[in-house]
A and B are shown apart, each in its own frame.
Chain A
């Protein structure tokens, strides 16, 4: 701190020191120069006036000499006026005096040219007349002219009749002054000849005669002290020389006095100090100018340096500020925190970070000008924290509030923690506010809360489930156990055995479906469910659903309708099984929860496409059943949830169906929603997106079958156009007519032209000739070669016989689906292939007969059941109680002993997978070829995949369905046969 302070004041100190040093040097220099020049000037003054003094003294002496010469001459030549005149006049011409006076003792005089007058000579008269001394005196003539008179006693004589005792010559003062005048000191020097009392005898400059007494003048007009004046007076009395300085009238004078050398007269010179020190003044001025210039330059240099430094510092500061601003802006823009500073006095916004616009949708400048704009953004407070609350925060402390804000542009809601720091910034009190985005935390908390709620709900649901399950499982189990007991008891009564066995079977199936549901749910929830995406036919699905559910609906005398709206694609890529499961769940629920005589409607529609590669289908299941309460609607998709009421209590269910459905829909990336009203029915809507298969393949099929042209006859032109549109992708050219007669004509015309129609599709009910009649007419003219189909919305069973007799090959129900159409007509073109396939299907009959299976099953009961079932099919089996045992038995078996290994997966000691691997890796001759089929309760796709991966050839779900066992064995063995043959041939 101290060092910093010293560093701050050091430059100022150095500059001050330099200035002071310069001033001291200048003062010392001035003093030195002043003294030196003053000494020189006074020396010069003395020399100059010493010279003047000598000149004046010489002049005085010369006059005395001249007057002596005149006296001697006049004494020698006598008083001849003319001679005297000539002599003195010659002297006048030579010495240049203005007049010569012959003065008598009574002061009267006569001049050389005869003029008379009176010569006063003032106090000098006494010296002249009484002391007989030569005198110099100032005299003012009657005309005002001032003269200086040099007079001395001479031998008495008479000139022009006038007696005289003294001879005098006079000089005009103005002329005399010129001999004493000094041009030095700029002509400002004044020179006087004084008597010792200070009275002025003569002055050397014009107008100087006004000085009567210089001592008096000095006394009155100068700043000399009494002591100094006394010294001067003493000097003058003693004819001493002296030099003094004084101020007269505000101006400094140098006064030099020195004896003239005549009597006690003094020569006094008064020179203004400024004239004496003119050189000094000049040097001072020059020095001052130089110093001023030097200081000015130095000052400019320092100022420039300071300015440059300040500018550099300012630029640096500004740059730093800009950097900070940029950094802060970038920082604030990259974080979801808003910073602002408010003045504590008036809550004026001093700063607000620009990201407020991004985060809250409020313009930063707008917020800066008025903080109250935040009011509109807040959802749970008035936007501005009350002033009193802010003031309550102690200085250098902080407090925070959390509020929810709504983005003014997007409407997005975000939670902010507003932390207010009450602090002193320099002398101002400020509130620094940091609005930190707490949305994630808030959402997390919310989710946690929801999760907690859900967990509670799930827990509760599970508790309910367990309670329900306890009942639901016990009920069939009770039946199974009960009837098994009865079976044991009445084993001899075949009728009862069949009755009991049938009931046990029913209870077992119910129990199995319960367990399947539970397992399905568990599987889905654990995320182990995956989709088997394959191309499947939507109409096929609908047909299957119709086949499955229509009987159930009929059983409850319910109306069950499937409606297709628009033209949804027929072939789609997806998991047919799961879709089936979803729809069956929804539809069976609808049937289940709709009273007898109710109405169930299943509607399929395609939502507007956004891509050629995808289609979004909506499946709606509407019923007018019992409906659901609003509360239950919220949790209808939760697992283990069932609405408890008098109706549902009578209906069996696990409460997992809708949860499974919801999870499957989620798994397929779709959405499921429900609209329901208690007592009025429900509508479940599922929207799923499916990929679309490549249409070229279909087109190739049509071309391969040489179906390139077809004729439609339907009185509804829209139907014709719709079919033509739907057939667009098939490459089949579609023509249509709207009545039977036209159909006949067109068919005949085309046939006759050599480009006949390959297929004719007739509406059953048309005005005029109906479909059957039209078909008959076509057959009459064109024979039986062209397949003719009847398209109808009605049940055609009543007319089927008549129609076939008329030559109609097949019926097709509306709505028209290309795939359905293809499936219907394809057999007409490939009848041979169909026949082969039907023959294969029946080939599996008796495939089990005589086969020997190695069964790996740890559960004795299961192995016993399986053994019995195989036995029923004419097959035998060896049972291994675990995987290891199975491996050993296989390895120890003769090649060809076993036709197939049925391998339980979950077994003690060694599981089925590991056993399979060891078998496959063994050196048993049939290690690689022996068919191994998994038998497991795990029936999911990955279970099948795991089985295949382990080296198995197939998968059977428990409990074992012998039909499926037969089919699978048949397929495997039929595949194996050629290989066996091949191998056999190779071996041979």
Chain B
């Protein structure tokens, strides 16, 4: 290539860069790149807050949406390649280990808005070291034992407040010909994790030992109790008779028709998936703690929140921190969540709609709610693996102890697959 050609090329590129610079300067703002699942990014409160931010600050939000099914692989690969967005939207769950949080993302422990978070929201966003790794900006819900209060009243029965009462309630309902619990073994893998949450939320040292591969589930009495209780419940008919084939789509008909009295679910489900034309409506339901014989008073699980995580090594960290401060402003988050049925993440969140079920049980929830711990904090945890172990138990292929051993085995395998240090 001749010298003249090189000069011409350099001149053209300089012109292009100059034009670009000028165009950018003319728009009057900065651009933040935020990456997340396509469906997450399309949530109304997300688009609302992006729009609000851009309107108020003049900065731009560049949304990088990745198809849901490809998200984990694509995002983790990009970050592994050093292509870290300014802001990453991700749940605080076991998949997060792919993103090397400590290396790539900024701890938010000292941000001004931290006190604005509800305890449960804050607790959800902590890593195992107690560092706040994300800013929760998401609709939330309370998972518990939702029951048909109208039906229960008609039977002269009260909700349970203890494990003993819950067992008595289940047995009494079963004696009266009712199906006490709608247990959806076919695909609804979340149920058992409600029982595990308080075990590890209440005793973090157990979680630590478990993650350090120092102990196994089978070393933990509560886990063994849970498996034994599930086996007993099935044997006593507390799950009815068709629980092995009951799936996600079967829960709503069972509850709305009164065929089942209770199920383990979250409140927002009643507004998104519950049949509205059934014998019973959402107003007939209430919530009480979930009892899995792991904790005497039962438990509620707090919401699983999508967090905004900031690129600690990017040049727009400060801009990103400013964006989070913008979102943590009551005016802004109330504007964003206006009319959204959710449990609040922010103490001054008022524009959202909270279910009456949760409101009525507020005192109980406040006392017994645990953050979703099992799914997010246990290394190698897989809801599917736990469900698979329970499948063996409920199909009488193994007993409770065998079930726990299967859980251990599957978790160890998964942890090794994830490359967890303690399991190498």
Contacts and interface: CB of A to CB of B under 8 A. Distances in A.
Contacts of B392: none
A206 B156 contact: no
Contacts of B176: 220-221, 248-249
Contacts of A783: none
A498 to B, nearest CB: 153
A206 B363 CA distance: 23
B181 to A, nearest CB: 14
Contact of B155 (A198, A216, A250): A216
B414 interface: no
A210 B159 contact: yes
B28 to A, nearest CB: 55
A209 B168 CA distance: 9
A236 B364 CA distance: 34
A31 B54 CA distance: 89
Interface string B297-322: 10000000000000000000000000
Interface of A is mostly: mixed
Interface in A202-237: 206-221
Contact of B164 (A143, A207, A217): A207
B169 interface: yes
Given A142-B367, A144-B297, A217-B155, A207 B175 contact: no
Nearest to A210: B169
Given A143-B367, A206-B164, A211 B175 contact: no
Interface in B156-176: 156-162, 164-169, 172, 174-176
B232 to A, nearest CB: 14
A613 B168 CA distance: 126
Contacts of B70: none
Contact of A249 (B164, B168, B175): B175
B157 A207 contact: no
Nearest to A190: B168
B154 interface: yes
Contacts of A211: 156-158, 172
Contacts of B169: 207, 210
B177 interface: yes
A216 B158 CA distance: 11
A427 interface: no
Interface residues of chain B: helix, strand, loop or mixed (majority): helix
A212 B158 contact: yes
B110 interface: no
A488 to B, nearest CB: 154
A161 to B, nearest CB: 26
A209 B156 contact: no
B272 to A, nearest CB: 30
Nearest to A143: B367
A146 interface: yes
A220 B161 CA distance: 22
Nearest to A216: B156
Contacts of B203: none
A140 interface: yes
B162 A216 contact: no
A694 B279 CA distance: 141
Nearest to A146: B161
A159 B153 CA distance: 39
A211 B161 CA distance: 12
A210 B156 CA distance: 8
Contacts of B158: 209-212
Interface string A295-323: 00000000000000000000000000000
Contacts of B162: 144, 206-207
Interface in A230-252: 248-251
B101 to A, nearest CB: 37
Nearest to A249: B175
Nearest to A248: B175
Interface string B274-301: 0000000000000000000000010000
B174 A217 contact: no
Contacts of B161: 140, 144, 146, 209
Nearest to B170: A210
A210 B367 contact: no
Contacts of A144: 161-162, 297, 364, 367
Contacts of A198: 156
B177 A210 contact: no
B154 A249 contact: no
A201 to B, nearest CB: 13
A212 B164 contact: no
Interface hub of B153, B167, B168, B169 (most chain A Cβ within 10 A): B168
Interface string B119-162: 00000000000000000000000000000000011111111111
A683 B248 CA distance: 130
B222 to A, nearest CB: 19
B299 to A, nearest CB: 12
Given A142-B363, A220-B155, A221-B155, A210 B160 contact: yes
A457 to B, nearest CB: 111
B297 A210 contact: no
Contacts of A207: 160, 162, 164-169
B156 A212 contact: yes
A765 to B, nearest CB: 132
B176 to A, nearest CB: 4
Contacts of A214: 156
B175 A209 contact: no
A672 to B, nearest CB: 111
Contacts of A218: 156
A212 B168 contact: no
B163 to A, nearest CB: 8
B175 A212 contact: no
A142 B361 CA distance: 11
A210 B363 contact: no
Nearest to B154: A220
B167 to A, nearest CB: 6
Contacts of A220: 154-156, 176
B153 A221 contact: no
A142 B367 CA distance: 9
A795 B159 CA distance: 163
A814 B233 CA distance: 138
A214 B174 CA distance: 17
A258 B140 CA distance: 51
A248 B175 CA distance: 7
B177 A217 contact: no
A212 B363 CA distance: 20
A144 B299 CA distance: 12
A298 to B, nearest CB: 41
Contacts of A215: 156
Interface string A245-263: 0001111000000000000
From A143, A207, A213, A251, name the one whose CB has the most chain B CB atoms within 10 angstroms.
Answer: A207
Closest 5 CB pairs of A and B: A249-B175, A216-B156, A207-B168, A217-B156, A207-B164
21 contacts: A140-B161, A143-B367, A144-B162, A144-B364, A198-B156, A206-B168, A207-B164, A207-B165, A207-B167, A207-B168, A210-B158, A210-B159, A211-B158, A212-B158, A216-B154, A216-B155, A217-B156, A221-B155, A221-B156, A248-B176, A251-B175
Given A206-B162, A209-B161, A221-B172, 20 more contacts: A140-B161, A143-B367, A144-B161, A144-B364, A206-B164, A206-B168, A207-B164, A207-B167, A209-B165, A210-B157, A210-B160, A210-B166, A210-B169, A217-B172, A218-B156, A220-B176, A221-B155, A221-B156, A249-B174, A250-B175
